[in-house]
Structure 1
Amino acid sequence: MALPWPNIPEGIKSSTARIRDLDMHFLHAGERKAPLVLLLHGFPELSYSWREIILPLSQLGYFVVAPDQRGYGRTTRPAAQGQPVTYEDDLGPYRILNLAQDIVALVQGLGHERAAAVVGHDFGSVVAAHCALARPDMFGGLVCMSAPYAGQAAHPTTWGAEAHAPRAHTSAWAGLNHHLALLHPPMKHYTAYLSTPSANADMRDPPQGLQAFLRAYIHVKSGDWPGNNPHPLQDTAQILKLPHYYIMPIHQTMPEAVEAHAPSPVEVLRNNWLPDEELAVYVEEFGRTGFQGGLNWYRAQVDIKYTEDVGIFAGKKIDVPAMFIGGVKDWGVYQSPGALEKMKEVCTDFRGIALVPNAGHWVQQEHPKEVVQALTGFLGK
């Protein structure tokens, strides 16, 4: 298939395959029979986000595949007959175990019994971790990027009279946002905003235009924004130290939250890792599909009805080799207090942490050579 986007290195191909209920689009390089490495993007990203990673890993002797995951990019639902994802759609397909099952099916659809490693960035890190957690026989290694995996907490147990206390029907997210709303000034967690009915329209059709919004959003989460000087947070009370793209003023939309920190024309010209021609790929794709597919991932994450099934992994550890990669200037590494330290405990064969200097949240796009170097060392072991 012809490459759908510009500035993709020669040697990378584009394909689509029927995977479960999806026609899944993916970029790939390397011999199909070579050991498989999967690259899973986050929000709001695409398989395109791995364009500088795919080919170097394939040259190490791997078959490297980066899909557009459910709800994103060129991956479509044939049953939807071309209709975009909506807020009214069933959230069941977007729960984390179903997203992991998409990747299991992709491995098999590619003609493989197992993958040498699954690498996930941002929300893709959560999917990758659940792949390794649920199917260690199928995924030989795990790399989480920008979002450490802290494990599934053990089920709470009570004795005596406490056992008759009412069962909670709301998630921890709901409690967190309740407390944030009581602050002066009132705030909200970004996941609460991304779960609202208006978030898709806010971001797809912002007052400053989609191109300007995405440029600002990507800029403020990158190493280019001087406001990013992250550090570990001691407890949940310290999350107020997070920038406004994580802990938002309660009445602001995401475009409003990042607009004040939009890059100047000079800063845009200095950006050599996402020039306007490459940013245009994201503008085109999300302008065409909207953001609701990815937003439904967040909605399923914060709704307890769609997270109860992961309780089967309560207290379970990941036993395949694992590592973490992030940017020194990425608040995503620390947004969940203690998560990075917990990942060292949850992963019984933890191979280390690589924090890339001067990189922010989009580490594989900002500093691809350093990410390839870290992945090469991990895969080589």
Structure 2
Amino acid sequence: MNTPSYNLPEGITSKSILIRDLNVHYLESGHLSHPLLLLLHGFPELSYSWRKLLLPLAALGYHVVAPDQRGYGRTVSQSDPSHRIQFDDDLSPFRILNLAHDIVALVFALGHTSTVAVVGHDFGSMVASTLALVRPDMFPKVVLMSSPYRGPPPLPFDIVNNPPDSQKHDPLLALDRALMSFNPPRKHYTRYFSTPEANDDMSNPPQGIHNFLRAYFHIKSADWADNAPRPLTGLPELASLPPYYVMPAEKTMPEAVAPFAPSTTEIGEATWLPDDELEIYSSEFGRTGFQGGLNWYRSAADPRLIGEFSIFHGRKVEVPAMFLAGKKDWGTYQFPGATTRMREACPRMEDEDFVLLDGAGHWAQQERPEEVMVHLERFLSRSD
């Protein structure tokens, strides 16, 4: 399948650069001599997800770069550029510290030694927070969009006096067992994303990949009237999460979102993602599959791969931080207590920098780019 044209406006260029084991594709705007600002996408997204912010941010005087991250889009292996990522491929390159390493290497490859800030959306928020945690000298400000930062995984504490259980504890497995006891039984989407079947389910859905992504983007946006996020206090309340987070136990993701696909009228009213722009996503993921992105979830759920990150347990993000999401984005509250943990882990996050936008769901930078720009400009220009 041929790679689609992004039809980018003048002032945004598509480039590639060799770093580490990758040939990294990225979108760029602004003068190379200006301070670097990095934009990191989530799932199932691409550098293209930042298309509405690149020019406005460059107009503020930044060199703005949005890469396709490891496993996504036009970023490919240097040694085997045509390889389509498979479930059985080595998972270790997708661990969080290696994903952060990619971005540090990208900064230097672009001719910079630091940035003005890093902005991450969805799973890109986890990479952005990791960068601010481990390299605050390079990333002096961080913006976390849609996914609250919950800190590095814990290390065992006081096991001399409180010996741990002999059997290893898998929190995600425990969560799934609890969800399976619901009526009707449910499963967590991160567990589903870690299965061998998920990539084929989403790459070859009954409704076609374009219609699947249309439903998926719709149901997580402010356009879906049933999105009414609120803080959750415990496990029983997870039953109120929408089916793209807590899925029916017997369904695939395409099956879970299919009943909520938008009507022809609703598609026409979704001016934030017209069909020709959605076609970029469906064509790219149709060409590459979803396994690269799914491997991020698998590695985050693998104790062997996330364990090395626990070396930073107890360390806080000491740079100024902002959280920015849509008011109709369940991502803010899908994990009970996550926002409280984020405020503890980001002590320099001011009250004014916890922002929930009216009229936006999970895809805030696409649904409400003007409002996102207002807050980014305020935060980035502020001297702390």
TM superposition score normalised by structure 2: 0.96
1:141 paired to 2:145: no
CA 1:51/1:164 → structure 2, altered by over 3 Å: closer, same or farther? Answer: closer
Per the TM alignment, residue 338 of structure 1 is displaced from its structure 2 partner at its CA by 1.4
For 1:104 and 1:6, how far apart are their aligned partners in 2? 26
Per the TM alignment, residue 358 of structure 1 is displaced from its structure 2 partner at its CA by 1.0
For 1:110, the equivalent position in structure 2 comes to: 110
For 1:266, the equivalent position in structure 2 comes to: 265
Per the TM alignment, residue 235 of structure 1 is displaced from its structure 2 partner at its CA by 2.4
Per the TM alignment, residue 239 of structure 1 is displaced from its structure 2 partner at its CA by 1.6
Aligned ranges 1:1-381 → 2 under 5 Å? 5-159=5-159, 162-163=162-163, 165-166=165-166, 168=168, 170-351=169-350, 352-381=353-382
CA 1:73/1:166 → structure 2, altered by over 3 Å: closer, same or farther? Answer: same
Per the TM alignment, residue 19 of structure 1 is displaced from its structure 2 partner at its CA by 1.2
Per the TM alignment, residue 91 of structure 1 is displaced from its structure 2 partner at its CA by 0.5
CA 1:379/1:161 → structure 2, altered by over 3 Å: closer, same or farther? Answer: closer
Bigger mean CA deviation after superposition, 227-236 or 137-146: 227-236
SS at match of 2:298: helix
Per the TM alignment, residue 167 of structure 1 is displaced from its structure 2 partner at its CA by 5.4
Per the TM alignment, residue 157 of structure 1 is displaced from its structure 2 partner at its CA by 1.9
SS at match of 2:150: coil
Per the TM alignment, residue 201 of structure 1 is displaced from its structure 2 partner at its CA by 0.7
The one-letter code sitting in structure 2 at the alignment partner of 1:343 is: M
Per the TM alignment, residue 140 of structure 1 is displaced from its structure 2 partner at its CA by 1.0
The one-letter code sitting in structure 2 at the alignment partner of 1:369 is: E
Structure 1 stretches lacking a partner, 5+ long: none
For 1:341 and 1:52, how far apart are their aligned partners in 2? 31
Cα offsets for 1:203-224 (capped at 9, x unmatched):
1110011111000000000000
For 2:25 and 2:47, how far apart are their aligned partners in 1? 8
For 2:58 and 2:266, how far apart are their aligned partners in 1? 33
1:11/1:55 contact within 8 Å kept: yes
For 1:201 and 1:93, how far apart are their aligned partners in 2? 21
Per the TM alignment, residue 9 of structure 1 is displaced from its structure 2 partner at its CA by 2.7
Cα offsets for 1:73-116 (capped at 9, x unmatched):
01000222411000001100001110010001011111111111
Per the TM alignment, residue 155 of structure 1 is displaced from its structure 2 partner at its CA by 2.2
SS at match of 1:260: helix
Structure 2 stretches lacking a partner, 5+ long: none
SS at match of 2:260: coil
For 1:141 and 1:164, how far apart are their aligned partners in 2? 38
Cα offsets for 1:262-311 (capped at 9, x unmatched):
00000011111100000000011000000000000011011111110110
CA 1:164/1:193 → structure 2, altered by over 3 Å: closer, same or farther? Answer: closer
For 1:42 and 1:129, how far apart are their aligned partners in 2? 13
Per the TM alignment, residue 138 of structure 1 is displaced from its structure 2 partner at its CA by 0.9
The one-letter code sitting in structure 1 at the alignment partner of 2:112 is: H
The one-letter code sitting in structure 1 at the alignment partner of 2:347 is: T
The one-letter code sitting in structure 1 at the alignment partner of 2:172 is: W
TM superposition score normalised by structure 1: 0.96
For 1:35 and 1:10, how far apart are their aligned partners in 2? 21
Per the TM alignment, residue 186 of structure 1 is displaced from its structure 2 partner at its CA by 1.5
For 1:9 and 1:369, how far apart are their aligned partners in 2? 17
The one-letter code sitting in structure 2 at the alignment partner of 1:378 is: F
Per the TM alignment, residue 7 of structure 1 is displaced from its structure 2 partner at its CA by 4.5
Cα offsets for 1:226-246 (capped at 9, x unmatched):
010111111233222100110
For 1:31 and 1:127, how far apart are their aligned partners in 2? 25
CA 1:11/1:161 → structure 2, altered by over 3 Å: closer, same or farther? Answer: closer
Count matched residues.
378
Segments of 4+ moved more than 3 angstroms:
3-7, 158-162
CA 1:353/1:162 → structure 2, altered by over 3 Å: closer, same or farther? Answer: closer
Per the TM alignment, residue 355 of structure 1 is displaced from its structure 2 partner at its CA by 1.0
2:153/2:307 contact within 8 Å kept: no
For 1:83 and 1:152, how far apart are their aligned partners in 2? 32
The one-letter code sitting in structure 1 at the alignment partner of 2:183 is: H
1:153/1:315 contact within 8 Å kept: no
Per the TM alignment, residue 345 of structure 1 is displaced from its structure 2 partner at its CA by 1.6
For 2:81 and 2:328, how far apart are their aligned partners in 1? 42
